[in-house]
Amino acid sequence: MKRIFLADLHGNLPATLAMERALSSIPADETWFLGDAVGKGPSNAETCDWTRAHCDHWVGGNWDYGIGGKEFSEDQYFWDQLGPERMRWLNGLPREAEVTMGGLRFRLFHGRPVTSLLRAQDDKDLLASCFTTERGVFDGVIFADSHRPFIRTLNCGYIINTGSVGNSMGVPRAHALAVDEGPGGMLTMSILSVPYDNDAAAQIARDDLNLPHRESYIREVLTGIYSR
């Protein structure tokens, strides 16, 4: 069984459509969305609708809840794009889920607000703390939020970041995670790195004079350098 885990579309439609084209060549049995369909970029209704149409399971992220729950008044731009029904859907997304693959039990969440911002270089004890909840001890953790894909092993199991479809840091491509279950409990875990038209994404933002933090978003899309 093949599963795709993706997250952090962040209103970047060219990156989202590039990922869609890439996934059409490696069809999966399930696609999991791990949060942040919206925010930052200019095409939020489109990326929200894409997430709902193309994913089978969903968990929410900090931007989904912040915008969907009207937590910050400066997000009026995003509220106007999305409308009440989409915002209710975003705000009602579950905070986490789980899946068993290859006989291993994986905990799935976005990152914030379930945890603090987690990164590949964080101390192993901090990362290991994510493996245990009131639901028991997990063999692996798959999350998003920091916009940098990685696969790391700890003594307690695998910790994996999907990377970001629409707002990748470091390498400004669209990223996702593919996990394929083989015979005898074998797992193949791969980071998908998909090129997209970064200039087109930046131009959509340039043309939208009302986009909050527009120059920061454009710089991130073009360079992969965090700018806000």
- Please report whether residue 49 resides in a domain: yes
- Please report whether residue 69 resides in a domain: yes
Work out the average pLDDT over 30-53.
Answer: 98
Distance (Å, whole) CA 121 – CA 159: 12
pLDDT digits (tens, 9 = 90+) for 146-187: 999 999 999 999 999 999 999 999 999 999 999 999 999 999
How far is C-alpha 54 from the geometric centre of its chain's CA atoms? 14
pLDDT at 120 (0 to 100): 95
Q: Which structural domain, as residue segments, surrounds residue 219?
A: 2-223
Work out the average pLDDT over 109-127.
Answer: 97
- Please report whether residue 59 resides in a domain: yes
How far is C-alpha 155 from the geometric centre of its chain's CA atoms? 25
- Please report whether residue 122 resides in a domain: yes
- Please report whether residue 30 resides in a domain: yes
- One DSSP character per residue, 151-202 reads EEEETTEEEEE---SSS-SSS-SEEEEEEEE-GGG-EEEEEEEE---HHHHH
Distance (Å, whole) CA 195 – CA 189: 20
- Please report whether residue 162 resides in a domain: yes
Work out the average pLDDT over 59-63.
Answer: 98
Q: What is the domain count for the chain?
A: 1
- Please report whether residue 228 resides in a domain: no
Distinct helix (H) and strand (E) counts, the chain: 7, 12
Interstrand relation of 150-154 and 140-143 (parallel, antiparallel or unpaired): unpaired
What are 7's two structure tokens?
């997250």
Distance (Å, whole) CA 59 – CA 215: 29
Q: Is the omega angle on the peptide bond into residue 84 within 30 degrees of 0, that is, cis?
A: no
pLDDT digits (tens, 9 = 90+) for 196-221: 999 999 999 999 999 999 999 999 99
**Type of residue at 208:** D
Looking at residue 8, which CATH number applies to its domain? Answer: 3.60.21.10
CA-to-CA separations, 81 to 15, 85, 171, 186, in angstroms, rounded: 19, 11, 28, 44
- Please report whether residue 189 resides in a domain: yes
